[in-house]
Every structure is written in C-alpha cells, then in structure tokens.
Amino acid sequence: MIYLTRRATFSASHYYWNPAWSAEKNEQVFGRCANRNGHGHNYTLEVTVAGEPDPVTGFVVDLKWLKDIIEREVLSAWDHRHLNLETPEFATAMPTTENIAIAAWKRLEPAVTAASGARLSRVRVYETPEIFAEYRGES
Amino acid sequence: MRACFGRRYMISASHRLHTDALSAQQNQATYGKCNNPHGHGHNYVVEVLVGGCVDPETGMVINMVELDNVVRSRVIERFDHANLNLDPLFVNRVPTTENLCRAVFALLKDALPAGELERVRVEETENNFFECEGD
C-alpha cells in the first residue's frame, strides 16, 4: 500500500462563536478567536490517498487529477471566503481546524472513491505552521 | 466524530550522547560528533497529536490554550534552555531524541485535560525526527 499526499493552500476568514452561549462564555472559551469581526489564516490542506500503484502507469492516482478534485471540491468553495458566513457547513458548525478537516473529508471522499481505485486515507489541515488537525474518516 | 488536533512547540536544549556502559573509544565510534565532551545543542520541535471526539459545543477535540498550558508546564519549562543530560530522566538514560520523544510522551500521557495522546514527534533537526505512540 502506498500513501500519496497532495498539498494545497487556501486563505479564509472565520470566527468562533457559539450562539447558545453568553458573550462572556464565548470570550472565555475562544479568546481572541471570538472577535465577531473575524480574522483569517493561510490554511494548508494535505490530502492523503492510499492505494496500490497501477502496474502500467506506476501511479496510485494521477496527481493532476487529485489536484483538480481538491480545487473543485474544496478550494473553489473556501478560498478567499468567510467560512462562517459563506460556506454551508459552517453556517452552524464551528469552523475550528478539527471541523474544517472533517468537512474537507466529506467534500473529497465521494469524488476520490467514485473515480479511482484508491481510497481517501487522511485529511490534514494546518491553520498555521504550528497548529493542525487531521481526520481519517472515523465516526 | 473522532479527529486529531496537533500542535508544534520548540525547545532549545543541549545534550551529549554518551553512556558509561561503553568505553571512551566505543562511545566515540557509536556517537561520533554527538559524543563531544562539552555537548552541543538543537532547536527541537515537539509535535503533539491529541485524538478524541469533536465536542459539538466548541468544535474542538481539545482547547489549545489548555493544551499549551500542560505542554508548557510539563515539557517546555522542564527542557527548554536546559542541558538534557542533567535532567533526572536522563541520569541513567542517554538523551537521544528517541529517548526524549518517549520522555515527552510519558510526561504528557496522563496530563491532558481532554482527548488521548495519540503521538509525539520530536524533530531534532530539519532532517531527522522520531515518533512515539506510547507502545
């Protein structure tokens, strides 16, 4: 089994705010991330696909194909957007790095599965070079 | 839903790879430049990966500020700008990055306020790193 990873970047803004909580509790739990004017990051998305190399091409999947899927399913929806205000998954869910990794998986998994012999193995999202989250499809 | 949260920290520390179980010549042959009697240092990167269910109220596996506090008090304050050989954990154990990685895992394992410690990675330089999953 070979694991192949493609990296992509997108820039987006967000804030953390649970409407069920008071302003004080939001600020206490989320700190500066609770600023309702939002803030932004250069996110790095790492998409890992697992499979056996094709005996003819030597590819697990064609990297260009994977790049196009990432652009179509994720970047076109999230890049240069406000995640809370402009994306369906974060209209209610908190756009934390954990939830962004899960949402990216949900966007990518059907396309990867439908079109290749490989399977999506892991999605990792870096919010900064020091902060990241990953999701492997677990329930 | 189960996901993982990861965070990277930096520690600057010195060490010397040497064991009394080997002769001076054997130490030199085994550890090479790392056996320099006066030690040397690294900017270590410690990467901590915490797994757990994403809390529906916060969207988080673990609150980063709480994780930072634990890592700071148990690992960074202990090892940053210190000589690893002088730490009690390395009195009878060579402070290789393998052993440092295990030590960090053990120091954090039962101290997390949420989730479980999945993996500790310690990067000694840009070109070498070590990982421990607690086994």
Separation between Cα atoms, residue A61 and residue A116, nearest integer Å? 7
Closest residue of A to B61, CA-based? Answer: A98
In degrees and rounded to multiples of 5, residue B53 shows phi and psi of: -75, 140
Q: Does the domain made of A2-135 have the CATH classification 1.10.357.10?
A: no
10 Å Cβ neighbour count for B135? 4
Q: Longest Cα pair distance anywhere in chain A, in angstroms?
A: 61
DSSP-derived 3-state class of residue A130? coil
Identify the helix (H) or strand (E) that includes residue B109: helix B97-109
CB pairs A-B closer than 8 Å: 62
Q: Kindly state whether B93 is in contact with chain A, defined as any CB-CB distance less than 8 angstroms.
A: no
Q: What is the pLDDT of residue B24?
A: 96
User: Between A21, A31, A98, which is nearest B59 by CB?
Assistant: A98
Could you state, in order of their start, the residue ranges of all structural domains in chain A?
Answer: 2-135
C-beta atoms of A131 and B1 within 8 A: no
> Would you place residue B92 in the very low, low, confident or very high pLDDT band (cuts 50, 70, 90)?
very high
| Alpha carbon distance, N-terminus to C-terminus of chain B | 25
Q: Token pair 């998305």 is at which residue?
A: A45
Q: A55: exposed, middle or buried (C-beta count within 10 Å: 0-12, 13-18, 19+)?
A: exposed
Distances (CA, A) of A82 to A14, A91, A92, B24, B36: 6, 10, 13, 62, 54
The CATH number of B2-132 is which of 3.20.20.370, 3.20.20.100, 1.10.150.20, 3.30.479.10? 3.30.479.10
Count helices and strands (H / E) in chain B: 4, 5
Is residue B40 part of the annotated active site? The answer reads no
> Angle of helix A97-115 relative to helix A63-70, nearest 10 degrees?
130
Residues B119, B49 contacting (CB under 8 angstroms): yes
Largest CA distance in chain B: 60
- DSSP secondary structure string for all residues of A27-56: HHHHGGGG-TT-EEEEEEEEEEEEEPPPTT
**B81 in catalytic set:** yes
Q: Pairing between strand B40-53 and B82-83?
A: unpaired
Distance CA A90, CA A104 (A): 12
The answer to whether A24 contacts chain B (CB < 8 Å) is: no
pLDDT in tens, chain A (139 residues): 999 999 999 999 999 999 999 999 999 999 999 999 999 999 999 999 999 988 898 889 999 999 999 999 999 999 999 999 999 999 999 999 999 999 999 999 999 998 777 999 999 999 999 999 999 999 9
Taking contacts as CB-CB distances below 8 angstroms, the residues of chain B near A16 are 58-59
Amino acid at A104: A
Domain coordinates of chain B in residue numbers?
Answer: 2-132
Per CB-CB distance under 8 Å, the chain B contacts of A124 are: 6
d(CA B8, CA A133) in angstroms, rounded, equals 11
Q: Which residue has the tokens 């130490």?
A: B27
Query: What is the ipTM metric for this complex?
Result: 0.87
Inter-chain residue contact B7 with A94, CB threshold 8 Å: no
Considering the candidates B42, B101, B123, B124, report the single residue annotated as catalytic. B124
Contact A102 B2 (CB under 8 A): no
Q: How far is CA A132 from CA A128, B17, B56, B77, in A?
A: 7, 32, 18, 23
Confidence of residue B135 (pLDDT cuts 50, 70, 90): confident
The one-character DSSP state at B2 is E
Is the CB of residue A138 less than 8 Å away from at least one CB of chain B?
yes
- Is A98 annotated in the active site? no
Sign of torsion over alpha carbons B74, B75, B79, B85: positive
pLDDT tens-digit map of B28-63: 999 999 999 999 999 999 999 999 999 999 999 999
C-alpha distances in Å from residue B68, one per residue of A23, B20, B108: 24, 36, 11
